């Protein structure tokens, strides 16, 4: 399986606030999406913002992985589900 390519797509001020939005572009084959991370501009200087946003992005996906752990199926479970399919095989 290939690795995800993660890059900073945009850094922009959030209108009407002191927040900054750092948007990450995530790509792997047909899968591509963006994740915005919002930071209070007064909490970090310009050189620290991307590092802080990367940390928040990591924590977000770690929490998502933990929350969806029960959804994980073994190869045996997947094979069983496949064999139960009622679709006509071509």
Range from 32-36, 55-59, 71-75 carrying the lowest mean pLDDT: 71-75
Checking if the pLDDT of 47 tops 80, the result is yes
Strands ordered across the beta sheet of 5-13: 5-13, 19-28, 31-40
Which of the four pLDDT bands, split at 50, 70 and 90, describes residue 86? Answer: confident
Residue 20 sits at φ, ψ, to 5 deg, of -120, 140
Q: What is the mean pLDDT of the chain?
A: 92
Mean local confidence (pLDDT), 49-62: 97
HEC string of the chain equals: CCCCEEEEEEEEECCCCCEEEEEEEEEECCEEEEEEEEEECCCCCHHHHHHHHHHHHHHHHHHHHHHCHHHCCCHHHHHHHHHCCCCCCC
């Amino acid at each position: 399986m290939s690795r995800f390519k993660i890059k900073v797509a945009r850094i922009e001020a959030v209108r009407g606030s002191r927040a900054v939005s750092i948007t990450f572009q995530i790509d792997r084959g047909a899968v591509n999406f963006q994740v915005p991370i919002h930071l209070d501009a007064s909490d970090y200087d310009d050189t620290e913002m991307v590092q802080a946003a990367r940390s928040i992005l990591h924590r977000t996906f770690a929490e998502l992985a933990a929350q969806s752990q029960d959804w994980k199926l073994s190869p045996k479970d997947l094979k069983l589900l496949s064999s139960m399919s009622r679709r006509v095989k071509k």
